[in-house]
A and B are shown apart, each in its own frame.
Chain A
Amino acid sequence: MSAFSTLIVRVAASLLPPESRARYREQWLADLRDAPELGIGTGEIAVGSMAFAMAHGRALPNLGSARGWTVTARARLAVGLSLSVAVLAISQVSTLSAGGLTGNTAYDFITFTASMLLLAFGIVAPLLALILAFATAGIARRIRLAVALLVIASTAAIFSGAHGIQFWWMSVLGPFTPGSLIYPLAIVLVAVACRVAWRELRPAEQAPSRRMRRELLLASVAGGLLVATAAIFGFLHASALWDARTPLVFELPFTESNRAFFEDWMTLKVQFESQVTTVLGLWIVVGVVSAVTVALFGLSRWATIRRVMALSFGALSLVLLSYGSILVFLNLGSSDVAATQPVELLMLVARWTLVALIVLVVGGERNTINARRQLQSARP
């Protein structure tokens, strides 16, 4: 029996509840010892034991067998936390970079601290989501699946970014490499996870009065206009900056030692610069779709004032984040214009807003279909 398989089996057994730990440890160690006798790989026993530990929802610190509202609350929070990190990781990988204290100004301190907190959130939130989803007995399998998919998607996007791809659309527009598939794959995983989680956490449908319906529509149209304004302003601003730009290559102070590096870098940039129109077009599509979605949400069966406001601010954050990303992508946030600090700050604020909204809206939604069902079944 291999030492590694033995270690996995021991770890798997230790993750089980105390009352069954000794039994399964001995059983699996016997299986490991005798596996070669039947031509079965010890690795399969190790994987099987770990799968068993995970499937029984006690693989992580046991949070007890919660019931009713507590289970639903933990499920919502787990999805909210993992979804927020997945959205951040896909929207821009450098989200999770901590930046640095390059100066001594208050601005440097604030951005550094905010970035570090975001980094900490990006590490802690998926772990917390996994613990909530898998360590609570009674959490629906769909929720566990959704959380697992979201954690995989965010991890994949972060690792992809660490290997040089900065924005998801670069993986679409840039030269094809196997790594290019990671972002689209992560987006698909998030979509599937949302679909799976939706079936468990779907909000209860509303039956608003006529007056209320009119107010909802007004609120959502106002939200849509706000998002559209931000999108149009951002588009015009980025286009104007792009038209008036000074080529970066003339701005950078070259020395013999860094010339080769910047020349290589500029070659790479030119590749993307040819796609500027496409990128701007893509972004305005994101803006229009966001604005229209918000505006029409008021007609939806799930609309409430709270949800309309949350969706409006979420879409606004997304548009502002895209705007900041576009400026960074076009390199308009560096030496061409003195816009580095406002852009960084804008993106940080947008990211934090997005995180807070997703966690609060998904995690705080009490009026779900399943919650109502549980309440009804709990009644005598």
Chain B
Amino acid sequence: MQPLTRVTPATIDVLQTFVESSDALWGLRVIKESGRPAGSVYPILERLESVGWVASRWEDDNSRSGPRRRYYELTDGGAVAARAAIATFVAARRPKAAPNVIATSAVTA
């Protein structure tokens, strides 16, 4: 498994969708759940798969005729890396408390 070279907000949304789901997801479900357009999600899925964070397989359901759905799920290493990436991203995005706010809190306490 390789590290992701570029983690965008859309990548985090896709990873979050996988982390919150206990089952494998097909591409269209990822688009729906992440709220990201197909033009973002398809390349992200390909990138996650190429670095080994996500694995994919065809659906097993033989009752549906026509083309098969492609299901994606986090690999073991990918699940760990995804949670770490989300945590890092959230921490970076969290607004830091301004010094005067901290000082005020300290005085109040």
Contact = CB atoms under 8 A, between A and B. Distances in A.
Contact of A30 (B37, B40, B42, B69): B69
B39 A31 contact: no
A49 B66 CA distance: 19
Contact of B38 (A23, A34, A49): A49
Contacts of B31: 38, 40, 44, 48
A29 B67 contact: yes
A44 B38 CA distance: 6
A38 B32 CA distance: 7
B52 interface: no
A259 interface: no
Nearest to A29: B67
A218 interface: no
Interface residues of B, number: 19
B46 interface: yes
Q: Which of B46, B66, B67, B70 has the most CB of A within 10 A?
A: B67
A56 interface: yes
B68 interface: yes
Nearest to A26: B67
Chain A binding surface SS class: helix
B66 A48 contact: no
A25 B37 CA distance: 18
Interface string B36-76: 01111111001000000000000000000011111000000
A51 B66 contact: no
A30 B42 CA distance: 14
A56 B49 CA distance: 14
B101 to A, nearest CB: 39
Contacts of A39: 32
A49 B45 CA distance: 12
A52 interface: yes
A30 B39 contact: no
Given A34-B28, A35-B28, A29 B66 contact: yes
Interface string A11-32: 0000000000001011101110
Interface string A314-354: 00000000000000000000000000000000000000000
B29 interface: yes
A55 interface: yes
Nearest to A30: B67
Interface in B80-106: none
Nearest to B38: A48
B38 A47 contact: yes
A26 B65 CA distance: 12
Contact of A31 (B28, B37, B40): B28
Contact of B43 (A23, A25, A56): A56
B23 to A, nearest CB: 15
Contacts of B40: 48
A133 interface: no
Given A27-B69, A34-B69, A49 B42 contact: yes
Given A33-B67, A52-B46, A38 B28 contact: yes
Given A25-B67, A48-B38, A51-B43, 16 more contacts: A26-B67, A29-B67, A30-B26, A30-B69, A31-B28, A31-B38, A31-B69, A33-B67, A34-B69, A38-B29, A38-B32, A40-B38, A44-B37, A44-B39, A49-B38, A56-B46
